[in-house]
Amino acid sequence: HTTNNRMEMLGAIEALGAVRDRPEPVKLFTDSGLLINGIKGWIHGWKRNGWQTAAGKPVVNQDLWERLDSLVQARKGRLAWGHVKGHAGHELNERCDVIAVAFSKGVKIGLYDGPAVGCGYSLLEPGAEHLRETAPRQKSSSSKPRAKAGGYYLSFVSGSVERHLTWPQCQARVHGVSGAKFKKVSSAEEERAALEQWGAC
């Protein structure tokens, strides 16, 4: 018997375990608010309190929190977290749901094992429409960076694609990097065409 929360945690544990020996920075996305809040905030108090909550009760799933904390500490400075909205149409998040449901029902499902660029999905980080706020929203709408009407930039470096609102941001990522690619685009269609040309989708 297991729970959704344990499976969310095990997903993160398995993901970090799979890249344990990889030196490059990693960004891990999850749709679990419990996981994000727990590993980025609550866990520090739990450890100080001997794995007791503020209410003096034992922390649920302590075994998994300890495993996850160990993996996070091992990647200190080389791990970032992203909080994606669940069931909001992001293709990789939806794919994770399909896989999880299949496994829970004992149904065999095809899993990809190979270079990221061949997985059949976009390697772009989730767009703003799929991300949850990780900090309080500013009252002034002008404080949030927006893409200029003229478009935005894509960069493709070492199999990873990123979006940039300005050319200096893009240039800083690709300058002097062998094999790096970049392109200015102004629509989803142009973006997909560039990714297809680079073999990144």
Tens digit of each residue's pLDDT, the chain (201 residues): 678 888 889 999 999 999 888 888 888 888 888 899 999 999 999 999 999 988 889 999 999 999 999 999 998 888 888 888 766 677 777 888 788 888 878 888 888 887 766 777 766 666 554 444 444 344 434 333 444 456 778 888 877 777 777 888 888 888 888 888 898 888 777 877 887 787 765
Residue 142 lies in a domain: no
Q: Is 156 found in the same domain as 97?
A: no
Q: 47 and 103 in one domain?
A: yes
pTM of the model: 0.60
How many domains, the chain? 2
Q: What is the C-alpha separation between 56 and 48, in angstroms, rounded? A: 12
Say yes or no: 105 and 160 in one domain: no
Residues 52 and 112 in one domain: yes
Q: What is the rounded CA–CA span in Å between residue 144 and residue 127?
A: 14
Residues 91, 174, single domain; the answer is no
Confirm whether 143 is domain-assigned. no
- 158 lies in the same domain as 122: no
Q: Structural domain of residue 176, as residue ranges?
A: 152-198
CA atoms of 4 and 161, how far apart (whole Å): 31
Radius of gyration from C-alpha coordinates of the chain: 19
In a domain, 138, yes or no: no
The pLDDT, as a whole number, for residue 187 is: 76
Torsion sign over Cα 159, 25, 20, 5: negative
102 occurs within a structural domain: yes
Which H or E element spans position 156?
A: strand 152-157
